[in-house]
A and B are shown apart, each in its own frame.
Chain A
């Protein structure tokens, strides 16, 4: 994406391991969201973090935001095969990163 990047582009781990995905953006933001997309399906909202927040948790998900570095990370702990999907970050005017394709092997 010309507006930001996500890395890695692809990540393959074993069930039970943690997965970390990163997102960088280029503009100042008010909010940043993470979405998940299963193959052939629409996007599903995971979590929203506001620019004045540094960390947010939701179940096995942990999102951090560093506005000074214009970056965010999504951590999935104790991964499951069902977590296999693409993960996208999106900011303010709904510009999306290129996504990280996560594969969790059983």
Chain B
């Protein structure tokens, strides 16, 4: 298996633009997680899905952030409009079991820079 795939790996955009991050989980994994990592706040769980359904989105910072999972093999995290403080590395992870009961497999991350 190729592991969790994220695209793009790097994204540079200007403030106010829409940003869409993409993730393909490991086949057969029922759980998908989106994280954000910054120097100031460390690694934060934003939202997670089970069987394509959002279960907990309490970590989503504000309404500018939205996430979807239209099918078992694809998820998006969208920021609209983007702001400089959104600059971070965004990770997607997948798992075959719920939170912290088993290994999560992380993608390589998308480094987002908002100018």
A interface with B by C-beta (< 8 Å): 1, 30-33, 40-45, 48, 88, 90-99
Contact = CB atoms under 8 A, between A and B. Distances in A.
A70 to B, nearest CB: 16
B2 interface: no
Contacts of A31: 100-101
Interface in B57-112: 91, 93, 99-109
B105 to A, nearest CB: 7
Contact of B108 (A41, A90, A91): A41
A60 to B, nearest CB: 19
Contacts of B115: none
Given A42-B93, A45-B105, A95-B45, 4 more contacts: A30-B100, A92-B99, A94-B99, A99-B42
Contacts of B45: 93-95
B107 to A, nearest CB: 5
Taking residues whose C-beta sits less than 8 angstroms from the other chain, chain B's interface range is: 20 to 34
A33 B42 contact: no
A13 to B, nearest CB: 23
B100 A33 contact: yes
Contacts of B105: 45
